Each structure stands twice: as structure tokens, then as C-alpha cells.
Amino acid sequence: MKAAEIRSKWLAFFESKGHKIEPSASLVPHNDPSLLWINAGMAPLKAYFDGRVIPDNPRIANSQKCIRTNDIENVGKTRRHHTFFEMLGNFSIGDYFKEEVITWAWEFLTDPKHIGFDPNRLSVTVYPEDEEAYRYWNEKIGLPAERIYKLEENFWDIGEGPCGPCTEIFYDRGDKYGDLNDPECWPGGENERFLEVWNLVFSQYNHNKDGSYTPLPNKNIDTGAGLERLTSILQDVDSNFDTDLFMPIIERTCEIAGVRYKVNADHDVALKVIADHIRTVAFAVGDGVLPSNEGRGYVIRRLLRRAVRYGKTLGVDRPFLHELVSIVGGIMGVYYPEVVDKREFIEKVIRTEEERFHETLSDGLALLADLVKHARQAGQTEIGGQDAFKLYDTYGFPFDLTEDYASEQGFTVDRAGFDAAMDAQRERARAARQDTGSMNVQGGPLADYTEKSEFVGYNDLTLEGAVVK
């Protein structure tokens, strides 16, 4: 089944259950200074959830483009993470609640008319105190107790405001992906044998200022399922990257670089990172974000530069990312016409930025050559950490490039000094950010911005990990 068909099935299924289909909103939040990017299907619908706006239909479904920079280090390493992905969602604004959402999720996933997963491969997690959810899974759906895992993390809470337990659905990909005796293989563990596909959030409490929780008069449902993950299972491939959503981009990059996929592990990571980042950048530029030195533009600039550097590891030394935009359009244009309609503009922006970065890299190289020359004259054999950091910070010159060049010249680089300078900069950025609450997962050097950020993923509390190599 093609990814586009899965998306259509999702929308048709929830339409048949009385939902209004909303088109994907822009990646750039509208009237919401608390978020840098739309990072979940619910994010553009917040005004319905907090009661500021009453929807004409309390049941809504969508396929929403999302950006999550906190997952950048996972890209290419895990089978399931992207910086840009599509979240399929269904929502109830004070309408249906746990029983319906669980019943429909099961129907959609297991009925051969829709997704048709083997029911024996599905497990779920619930919040330990959420006996209601447990009962629906166990008694109504008939899931045996050993396939219902109780996890303390299954509580979605961003501090003050609506919050509540959630239940997540995992697909067991089988022995090939890990040993069942290893707890890391169980849902919630590090292993990806059980692939998290869908999160159902029951927002039923208000987290009050004084720390207490009281039931909400209007209970809401907010769910999110990753299209790329469903697709990887249905296409029976190793990772999200091996699906029809990514393969044409990887194949084109292979042609450009003259390499082959699945021959060299480092090349594969590079191919995946490039395929990931070009989607993010193409869509963000399509939504009006231009590379710059702050906020969203800075994220885009860093992602592009990261992709260029990974391109270099494949031996590509010329601007090439812009050539992938038409491939992205070919894959995604059916549902997101903006990447096709604005193709020329997106290509031009990316090309210009790539060219600039190549120049910057040569400027950085000239500076580095100069540093080496002076150090040699002074009888030293090491490049200072501050200098290496300046190359990184001002010229986008990654530490490993500095190190490679230095070692060719018989020099070392002061790694500890570089790390200390990096930490100091991070500290400055942290201090500059406002108090953002526990759910600010978009922080880190990639997103060195001052906007407040909240509701970024349901249970992912990681703050760090957005370091650009």
C-alpha cells in the first residue's frame, strides 16, 4: 500500500465516523508565539482545545505536517524518527471519549478494509492509574493482559492547563528486530522491535496553579499517528526511509553522488539525513521560512548546512540539494500542492543558500590554513579550542572538519576547549530563553531562539539532543 493511500484511508475512515477533515495547517504557527514550529496534529487546533473557539463540528481529523527539531540526532540512526513528518490525527472537542477512540483505533488498524494489521502483533501501553482505558483494551477489545503495559510516562502534562493520561499503540515487528526476553524490546524501551505508531491522549484534567488536578467539564481527545511508521510496516521494510515516501529521494541522491544504498553504513546514514533534511527545508521554505540567523530561519540554515556536510561525506562537493526539491514534490504534491506550486522558488532559495555555504566553507578553510601557519611559526602543534569554536560558530565549520584538516597538517585540536566554548554558548542561549516549562523539547543549539515553547510531543521530555554535529 502506498503512503498516499494510507493517508486517504485515514481521512475517509474518520470522515465515515462523523469527523470534519481539516487540511494541514502551515508549519509556521499562526497566532501562537508559544511554538516555533507546528510539531503535532493538535498544535494548530489549540484554540478549540482550550475553548477559545468553538468548532462547527466537534469531531476533526487531519494529516498535519510537523517539524520536531528535538529528534535531529535520531535521524538516520533510528528507523522511525524524522525532523519533518506527517502526523495523522483525530480529535474530539468535548464529544466522544475513551471508549470510542479506542474502539475506532482498533478497527482502523486491524480491519482488512482499512490497515489490516494482524491483531496479534499489537500491544498497548496505558497509564497505571487509568483503569478505564485498561478495561476497554482488555474487556472490550479483548487484548490479553500481557500485551497491555502500564507505564508511568503515559501522562501528558505541560504544567498548568489541560492534561491527562494517554495510551499508545505499538506494532511488534518480530524476532528479526530484537529478542522478546530483553525488556529494552518491550514498548517504551530503546529497541524498535515494538514500533510506536499511535498515541491517544485523553485530556480529562486541569492541572491547577496550586498543583492539584481537577476533572475538566469538557473532556477532549487528541491523537497522533505517524504516517511514515504505518507505511514502513505496511510496506514491510526496515525503516521509514525505505518506504515510497523517501526512496525516490535516496535513489536520486545515490545517482548524484555515485554511491549505492545499503552497501556502506556511513553512507546510509548520510543518505537518510539528506532525504530527511531536504523534506524539512523544502516544506519550511514553501511555508515562507527563509534561511537566516535567528528563529525558524536559523533552524533551516543549520539543517541545510548539515545536509551539505553529509553530502560531502558522500563525495558531493557542489550544490545539489536543490535538485531534490522536484523529487519531494513528486512524492508529496498529491496532498501538499504547495511544494509543487512553489518549486522554483524553493529551489532558488536552497541553491543560493548552498552556494553561500560552500563559499563559507572555503573561507573557513582559508582561515584554518592561516591558523595552522601561525601556530607552526610559534612552534605549536595544537589548534586552540576557542579558534575551533569560532570556525564552527561563525563559519559553520564542523569540529570534525577542523580536526581532519589539522591532522593532515600534523596538528591536534583542543577538544576540551572546544566543548567548553560550546557549553558556554549553550548556557548563554539557555539564559536568554524565557522559562519554558518542562515541555520545551525544541531547545538546544539548533533552535537558539527566545520564543516560548510548549506542547511539543506528548511524552517526550528530552531537552537536549539537538546538537548539530
370-378 long-range CB contacts below 8 Å, 24 or more apart?
372/405, 372/406, 372/409, 372/411, 375/411, 376/409
Q: Which is nearer to ligand ATP, 81 or 305 (CB)?
A: 81
Q: Which is nearer to ligand ATP, 95 or 228 (CB)?
A: 228
Q: How far is the CB of 207 from ligand ATP (least distance, A)?
A: 18
Partner whose binding site includes residue 85, from Mg ion, ligand ATP, none (CB under 5 to 8 Å by kind): ligand ATP
User: Residue 421 in contact with residue 385, Cβ under 8 Å?
Assistant: yes
Judged by CB under 6 A, does residue 68 bind ligand ATP? yes
Select the residue interacting with ligand ATP from 335, 458, 466, 468 (CB under 6 A).
458
Q: Which is nearer to Mg ion, 253 or 280 (CB)?
A: 280
Q: Which is nearer to ligand ATP, 27 or 87 (CB)?
A: 87
Q: How far is the CB of 228 from ligand ATP (least distance, A)?
A: 5
User: Residue 247 in contact with residue 216, Cβ under 8 Å?
Assistant: no
Q: Which is nearer to Mg ion, 39 or 253 (CB)?
A: 39
Instruction: Give me the helices (H) in 177-294, please.
Output: 227-234, 247-257, 265-286
Judged by CB under 6 A, does residue 226 bind ligand ATP? yes
Q: Which is nearer to Mg ion, 188 or 333 (CB)?
A: 188
Select the residue interacting with Mg ion from 24, 63, 90, 199 (CB under 5 A).
199
Residues 439 and 220: their CA atoms lie apart, in Å, by: 20
Beta-bridge partner residues of 221: 92, 202
Contacts with Mg ion in 169-198 (CB under 5 A)?
196
Helix (H) or strand (E) holding 207, with range, is strand 194-207
Tell me the CA distances in angstroms from 463 to 310, 440, 443, one per residue in order: 25, 7, 6
Instruction: Return the residue matching grid coordinates 539525513.
Output: 273
Q: Which is nearer to ligand ATP, 148 or 245 (CB)?
A: 245
Tell me the CA distances in angstroms from 401 to 313, 324, 365, 469, one per residue in order: 11, 25, 9, 10
Q: How far is the CB of 177 from ligand ATP (least distance, A)?
A: 14
Select the residue interacting with ligand ATP from 229, 279, 306, 343 (CB under 6 A).
229
User: Residue 230 in contact with residue 237, Cβ under 8 Å?
Assistant: no
Which is nearest to 421 in space by CA: 388, 372, 467? 388
Please state the separation of Cα 236 from the chain's center in Å.
Answer: 22
Judged by CB under 6 A, does residue 277 bind ligand ATP? no
Partner whose binding site includes residue 87, from ligand ATP, Mg ion, none (CB under 5 to 8 Å by kind): ligand ATP
Report, in this order, helix, strand and coil percent for the chain, each rounded to 5.
45, 15, 35
Q: Which is nearer to Mg ion, 49 or 458 (CB)?
A: 458
Select the residue interacting with ligand ATP from 7, 59, 65, 81 (CB under 6 A).
81
453-456 long-range CB contacts below 8 Å, 24 or more apart?
453/34, 453/35, 453/36, 454/34, 454/35, 454/158, 454/159, 455/34, 455/35, 455/39, 455/40, 455/42, 455/43, 455/46, 455/158, 456/35, 456/39, 456/40, 456/68, 456/70
Judged by CB under 6 A, does residue 444 bind ligand ATP? no
Q: Choose one: 130-138, 196-204, 263-271, 319-327; the region binding ligand ATP (CB under 6 A).
A: 196-204
Judged by CB under 6 A, does residue 283 bind ligand ATP? no
Q: How far is the CB of 35 from Mg ion (least distance, A)?
A: 16
Q: Which is nearer to Mg ion, 130 or 196 (CB)?
A: 196
User: Residue 418 in contact with residue 392, Cβ under 8 Å?
Assistant: yes
Q: Name the residue whose CB lies closest to Mg ion.
A: 460
Judged by CB under 6 A, does residue 197 bind ligand ATP? yes
Select the residue interacting with ligand ATP from 125, 167, 199, 204 (CB under 6 A).
199
Residues 363 and 68: their CA atoms lie apart, in Å, by: 31
The number of C-alpha atoms within 13 Å of 467 and in the hemisphere containing its C-beta is 11
Q: Which is nearer to Mg ion, 194 or 392 (CB)?
A: 194
Contacts with Mg ion in 445-464 (CB under 5 A)?
458, 460
50 three-state secondary structure: coil
Select the residue interacting with ligand ATP from 44, 178, 187, 224 (CB under 6 A).
224
Compute how many residues bind ligand ATP; rule: CB under 6 A. 20
The pattern of x and - marking residues 126 through 165 that bind Mg ion according to CB under 5 A reads ----------------------------------------
Its sign, for the CA torsion 358, 360, 361, 362, is: positive
Q: How far is the CB of 456 from ligand ATP (least distance, A)?
A: 8
Residue ranges binding Mg ion (CB under 5 A) = 196, 199, 458, 460
Residue ranges binding ligand ATP (CB under 6 A) = 68, 71, 80-82, 85, 87, 196-199, 224-226, 228-229, 457-460
